[in-house]
Chains A and B, each alone.
Chain A
């Protein structure tokens, strides 16, 4: 027996030389949402270092914003976070309105809240769906894209577009909600809830999904704050910071909603946070639909409502007095807004919102009005100064910092993209994990190239 035990004694280790390996993930890689490159340093399966290269989608948003009028920036903001473009629209318009000192109408505020929350749900649906798909759960992805489709149909019926919506205006929103919106919205919410429930049953206690997400991509609350991380990512670590609660804007202080927080700051908690946030957003939409008052959606009309055709007709006949101060009822999916009466807008030269398209195309006064609002050298002019306006984007605090020099072009438009800071902290989370963990961690960052690179 003794001879056998001597055979089992450890062999002297051969001297081996180990060196780490560099491996590129991206820029073009199926698991990289958008285009980003992660240069990883590997030791076997373990990631010992990562360098992130961004900028592949840089389209000079901030530079181009300085070249056009304040209203012309709105379409650019659609392209920032292209999964929830409405929140970008709202954020930019709120920043400019802060600069003007404008207070928009109640109905417009509610519409903005409803559309923002619907967008938040579509964003979370995409994020969780894509993460699940990358981990092999293709079914969940299809269910969530189906749910997203219900909401996109709603967005389409209100704004006329699915993605490049440009829905808000400085001083309100482009058009009112369609007549049967509340009804259809409730149906869509019901259907979306059913899909979320289904995916919840598929994923939340799924052994494979749980094991891949639990305890991967961990970050402590202290680190998350040091890296300026906000949104569901920060809340998963246990910090309950939400702009909607901390500094309520629009009418968020009138709703009853919870802010879900996690505990461990890992991928699984982020998944749970996002799942719960969708439910809370749907609750806000339901409450807003109950509370929303009647009224105008753009500053500022006298409350007289006529049809779009009647407005065009009287305008063509030169009956300007009849249409002054009235709003046109038009199909919001086309190009209708309400007629603007500039008298009540508290701005320097009382011009902020666009006239309705019927007016613009129907008569020379409307055309001139439009011309004076949008043409280079004639546009709206906020007073000199600066304003920073944070809103709760789907990924975290989305801030717009606008500087005005008193001319019709913004002097500087700065976007504080929420996923920029999370991407900066990504190497910290990847270090010490296995290579396969990059996929769920990166998925939970929900990187959106449009807002990251601007």
Chain B
């Protein structure tokens, strides 16, 4: 199979910060500012032709001491070419904002809502960034590593 991650590096030498193909998953870490341009290229360039945004999630690197702390992880798949690519974007806690990919892949809508809900990462340009799994009024973002797993926030309804 063609080496997609090196191809992307050739196309965007400045934007690509790191790349590896551990366990056979080709992975590219790109700069946050280049996400939209890289996304457009991935979708429209016939060489990549990433028709499907298979998955979008994030990882909190607090316990591993990552800098920047979060990584937003995108998994792309091309139905025509039958290849996969993982894109990662580092996000800092203070400026936890990434461009939204909803315009390119509508599927990002709910995925991004989930990442906002669970990690507190905002997506710029998202049409409707609400919580999705937790309820409105929930405090904190549960999948952050500094959110204790046994913390309870019972929903007791409106107070009269």
- In the complex, chain A residues whose CB is within 8 Å of the CB of B27: 386
Q: Does A416 contact B (CB under 8 A)?
A: yes
Q: Would you call A292 an interface residue if the criterion is a C-beta within 8 Å of the partner chain's C-beta atoms?
A: no
Stretch in contact with the other chain, from B8-16, B90-98, B105-113:
B105-113
Give residues 54-81 of B contacting A (CB, 8 Å): 54-55, 57, 59-60, 63-64, 73, 75, 79
Closest to B86 in A: A388
B134 to chain A: which residues have CB within 8 Å?
55, 58
* Contact residues in B for A55 (Cβ distance below 8 Å): 131-135
CA distance A239 to B54 in the complex (A): 15
Let me know if B107 and A424 touch, CB within 8 A. Answer: yes
Query: In the complex the two chains form, is A390's CB within 8 Å of B135's CB?
Result: no
State in angstroms the CA–CA spacing of A208 and B135 once bound together. 40
Whether B39 sits at the interface, judged by CB under 8 Å, is: no
Contact digits for B12-25, partner A, Cβ 8 Å, 1 yes 0 no: 00000000001111
| B35 interface residue (CB < 8 Å to A) | no
Please give, as numbers and ranges, the residues of chain B lying within 8 Å of A387 by CB-CB distance.
22-23, 25
**Which of A54, A63, A399 sits near B142, CB closer than 8 Å?**
A63
- On whether the beta carbons of B107 and A421 are closer than 8 Å, the reply is yes
Residues of chain A lying within 8 A (CB to CB) of residue B86: 388
Interface residues on A, range: 35 or more
Is B57's CB under 8 angstroms from A227's CB?
A: no
B159: A residues at CB distance < 8 A: none
A372 adjacent to chain B (CB < 8 Å): no
Residue of A58, A60, A228 touching B149 (CB-CB under 8 A): A60
| 0/1 interface trace, chain B 102-139, chain A, CB 8 Å (1 if under) | 00011101100000001000000000000111110000
CB pair A228 B133 closer than 8 Å: no
Contacts of B118 in A (CB 8 A): 62
Residue A403 interfacial (CB < 8 Å): yes
B52 at interface by CB-CB < 8 Å = yes
Q: Does B64 lie within 8 Å of A405, measured CB to CB?
A: yes
Contact-residue size bin, chain B (C-beta under 8 Å from the other chain): 35 or more
Q: Does B82 contact A (CB under 8 A)?
A: yes
Would you call A228 and B82 a contact (CB within 8 A)? no
Task: Kindly state the separation between the CA atoms of A141 and B106 in the bound complex, as whole angstroms.
Answer: 35
Contacts of A130-165 to chain B: CB distance below 8 A: none
Q: Is A397 an interface residue (CB 8 A)?
A: yes
Interface residues of A in 109-149 (CB under 8 A from B): none
Q: Which of A395-454 contact B (CB under 8 A)?
A: 397, 399, 401, 403, 405, 411-412, 414, 416, 420-421, 423-425, 453-454
Additional A-B contacts beyond A401-B55, A424-B107 (13; CB < 8 A): A54-B133, A55-B133, A60-B149, A62-B143, A63-B142, A228-B107, A241-B79, A386-B22, A390-B54, A397-B54, A401-B57, A424-B109, A424-B110
Chain B interface (Cβ < 8 Å from any Cβ of A): 22-25, 27, 51-55, 57, 59-60, 63-64, 73, 75, 79, 82, 84, 86, 105-107, 109-110, 118, 131-135, 142-143, 149
Could you name 12 residue pairs across A and B whose Cβ atoms are closer than 8 Å?
Answer: A54-B132, A55-B132, A62-B118, A66-B149, A225-B51, A225-B52, A227-B106, A386-B22, A388-B25, A401-B75, A414-B57, A416-B57
- A residues bordering B, Cβ < 8 Å? 54-55, 58, 60, 62-64, 66-67, 98-99, 101, 225-228, 230, 239, 241, 246-247, 385-388, 390, 397, 399, 401, 403, 405, 411-412, 414, 416, 420-421, 423-425, 453-454
A-B pairs, top 7 by smallest CB distance, nearest first, are A228-B107, A55-B133, A424-B110, A416-B55, A387-B23, A414-B57, A58-B133
